[in-house]
Amino acid sequence: MYTQLTADQVKSLQTSFINKVYAWMCLALTVTGFVALRTASSEALMSMLFGSPIIIMVLFVALLGLVYWISSAIDRMSSNMAIGLFMLYSALNGLILSSLFYVYTTASIASTFFVTAGTFGAMSAFGYFTKKDLTSWGNLLFMALIGLLIALFVSFFWQNTLFDLIISYAGVLIFIGLTAYDTQRIKKMSLEMDVESEEGRKGAIMGALALYLDFINLFIFLLRIFGNRR
């Protein structure tokens, strides 16, 4: 979109766009964490949510539906609607993740969160500053993600500690790679749209959603490895 820009102008545009992406991602993580903590502290809410498998299934379907809706219809919705749906998704995700406080100790959840933040930050920085084109990672990581989903489905029926551990390490590696790949993709995206336009705001939301999903999944798989169970 932009032509004949100086190096400083390019850097400024990229920095402005990336800042917006991370601001929305951090807000969504805050909403998720707040909802998860509040839900976990209420026995009534926990009993209502996890006392019936139907409610959990409805929540999972709603989460999948929201991601699909945002991703497929982003061009046809306003940026305000995209923001609202993203925040709704992060809140519903908080309801689901509140179950982690019943499975793992609070201390291990907190320590794993900081490990996740450090790992995510390092790989995001790599994706942003590397001169290597990570485009080729996309198809490989997508295929690996499909394989991971199949393995998770199998593990649901076949309870095996070693298999679960292998899945967890594979999940960590996949989302480490996706963090770097998505960051570079977002960096390139910053020069394809006006940061302050409606299109730019929606692009920032899509970038934030991608990084939010990378962070949450990286956190979950690291917790499966390092978390202390109650």
- Summarize pLDDT for 137-181 with one digit per residue, the tens: 989 999 999 999 999 888 888 878 888 899 999 999 999 999 999
- Which residues fall within 8 angstroms of residue 230, CB to CB, at 6 or more apart? 102, 103, 104, 105
Q: Specify the pLDDT at position 43.
A: 87
Helix 198-226 to helix 161-189 angle (10° resolution) is: 160
Nearest to 177 by CA among 153, 225, 143: 143
What are the angstrom distances between the C-alpha of 5 and each of 1, 78, 153? 11, 29, 49
Which has more pLDDT, 138 or 126?
A: 126
pLDDT digits (tens, 9 = 90+) for 69-86: 999 999 899 999 999 999
- Which residues fall within 8 angstroms of residue 149, CB to CB, at 6 or more apart? none
Q: Specify the pLDDT at position 2.
A: 52
pLDDT digits (tens, 9 = 90+) for 188-202: 888 777 777 888 899
CA 220 to chain CA centroid, Å, is 10
Evaluate if pTM is beyond 0.75.
Answer: yes
CA distance 8 to 128: 16
Q: Is 16 exposed, middle or buried (0-12, 13-18, 19+ CB in 10 A)?
A: middle
pLDDT digits (tens, 9 = 90+) for 81-119: 999 999 999 999 999 999 998 889 999 999 999 999 999
